Structure 1
Amino acid sequence: MSKSSFAPTRRQALGLGLALAGAAAMNVVPGFRLLAQAQAAVPPTAQKIADHFSSVKSMTGEFVQFGPRGEQTGGKFYLERPGKIRFNYDGSSNFQVISDGQSVVILNKKMRTSDLYPLSKTPLKLLLADRIDLSGDKVRAVKEEDDLTTIKLADKSVFGNSTITMMFDPKTYELRQWTITDAQGKDTTVMIFNVKEGVSFAANTFAIDYAANRVLNTKKSSR
């Protein structure tokens, strides 16, 4: 699988799960079976997949990211539940996205930028929760096919009109990819492969340097 060497912009990195609240209404992907917010129960298959994915406490692997204009990049990712994830992008920019369980930072060492967001206000909150919560009206749609089960989630109170659509292997319940649709209706898709589960990480794998973040943003604001 080939990957171009372009360095993602902040907006493109947001597609990994940081699309923030907006005002535009989202349209459900054609072909999905809608779940009425106040009446339809969560399909048993969706709950089984959510329970299995919640039971995976750590994983690592490679990813390829496709931006809303067809941009493509990739790298390696590390995940530890609850709340922790790290994406190391390929290329010379040393671009990283890190969540330490409380905050998410988008770090571009080459450009010396560091943008910080609360994890609780991003779609990553649903992906990284200790237990994937399908209660209330979070499940917008489910599509069951022979080779793929797709679950579309939203939480308007957390990240507005952004949504996260996760795709799983229907036999193993393993996560294959997810798509973040932001409030403007733009999609960013992340595919993962060569995944290993049940791995251990160094203590600083998900560490965010808050002091460096403050220094970089103080310098930026003083320009």
Structure 2
Amino acid sequence: MPAICNSEKNPVFSRPLALSMLAAPLLVAAAPAPAPELAQVQQHLKGISTMTADFTQEDRNGRVVTGVLTLKQPGKIRFQYEKGVPQLIVADGKSLYFIDYQVRQVQRWPTGNSPLRVLLDPGRDISGYAQVKPTADSRVISVEIHDPKHPEYGRITMVFQKDGTAPAGLKLQGWVALDAQNNRTTIRLASQRFNGPVADSAFRWNDPRTQVRTH
């Protein structure tokens, strides 16, 4: 798992969940999931052409950073962290990038090699590598992505709340990552807005290695 930052230089920012999702190969072959709930999750994901949300990220030590998430189908996502956090995560429809402006480094992954594909490729059948987990609240659906053949990949659990105003009656509330060392990172979403206008320019970024705008 690549490091997200130099913790000595930036101690508030440690292993964001988004990057935890980037480095693992696409997970497969989880146990069968209850069809109705998983089908509803699939319909929700298919019903999102764009989404924006505020997010709060908490690491295993309780340290918190905030930012704005922007999603546009097909295959585009941006995690814009708060001022003072010199990192950025962007998918441009083909590749997923982690940009560290502090050390002027860029890392790249194919979009399809990440569990973020659940969000970026909603047409894909997720039943082969996801299962619904029981919750104490009937209004909440929890979907776990985990490959038991590769425990080193850890676990990612996405949480949806039933909401009649959202696509397919669900609203993505966030997700939790637990790595092979039992380090937990949590993303919570708020102020979710669906299917509004989002320009393709939202997924452009400045390359710190050259200081020119890329596409």
TM class by shorter chain equals: 0.7 to 0.9
2:178 corresponding residue in structure 1: 181
Q: Distance in 2 between matches of 1:208 and 1:119?
A: 17
State the secondary structure of the residue aligned to 1:177.
strand
Q: Secondary structure at the match of 2:153?
A: coil
Matched, 1:134 2:134: no
Q: Provide the C-alpha distance between the structure 2 equivalents of 1:13 and 1:7, rounded to a whole number of angstroms.
A: 14
Aligned match of 2:162: 170
Matched, 1:77 2:74: no
Distance in 1 (alpha carbons) for counterparts of 2:116 and 2:145: 11
Question: How many Å separate the matches in 2 of 1:36 and 1:188?
Answer: 21
Gapped runs of 5+ residues in structure 1?
22-34, 217-223
User: 1:73 offset after TM fit, Å?
Assistant: 0.4
Q: Percent identity, please.
A: 25
Contact preservation (8 Å) 1:86, 1:96:
yes
Distance 1:49 1:93, change over 3 A: closer
Please give the per-residue CA displacement for 1:184-205, whole angstroms capped at 9, x wherever unaligned.
Answer: 3322111111111112222221
How is 1:1-223 mapped onto 2 (pairs within 5 angstroms)? Answer: 8-9=13-14, 11-12=15-16, 14-15=18-19, 17-20=21-24, 37=31, 40=32, 42-136=34-128, 138-144=129-135, 145-154=137-146, 161-171=153-163, 172-207=169-204, 212=207
8 Å CA contact 2:161, 2:173 repeated in 1: yes
Change (3 A) 1:44 1:14: closer
Q: Structure 1 residues 12, 48: closer, same or farther in 2, change over 3 A?
A: closer
Q: CA deviation at 1:87?
A: 0.9
Cα pair 2:33 2:132 within 8 Å, conserved: no
| Matching residue's letter, 1:74 | T
Q: 1:53 Cα deviation (Å)?
A: 2.4
Inter-partner Cα distance in structure 2 for 1:98 and 1:156: 29
Are the equivalent residues in 2 in contact too, given 1:164–1:178 (CA < 8 A)?
A: yes
- How has the CA–CA distance of structure 1 residues 19 and 61 changed in structure 2, closer, same or farther, with 3 Å as cutoff? same
Indicate how the Cα distance of structure 1 residues 120 and 20 shifts in structure 2: closer, same or farther if over 3 A, else same. Answer: same
Amino acid at match of 1:205: A
Q: How many angstroms apart in 2 are the aligned matches of 1:128 and 1:200? A: 17
**Which stretch has the larger CA shift, 165-174 or 40-49?**
40-49
Runs of 5+ consecutive residues of structure 2 not aligned to the other structure: 1-9, 164-168
TM-score between both structures, scaled by the size of structure 1? 0.72
Letter in 2 for 1:197: F
Instruction: State the Cα RMSD in Å.
Output: 3.1
Cα deviation digits, residues 43-100 of structure 1 (max 9, x gap): 3122112212221110112100011222210111100122211011112244211011
Decide which structure has greater strand share: 2
Moved over 3 A (4+): 13-16, 154-160, 212-216
Is the CA contact (8 Å cut-off) linking 2:118 and 2:126 kept in structure 1?
Answer: no
- Count of aligned pairs: 193
Equivalent pair of 2:45/2:122 in contact (CA under 8 Å)? no
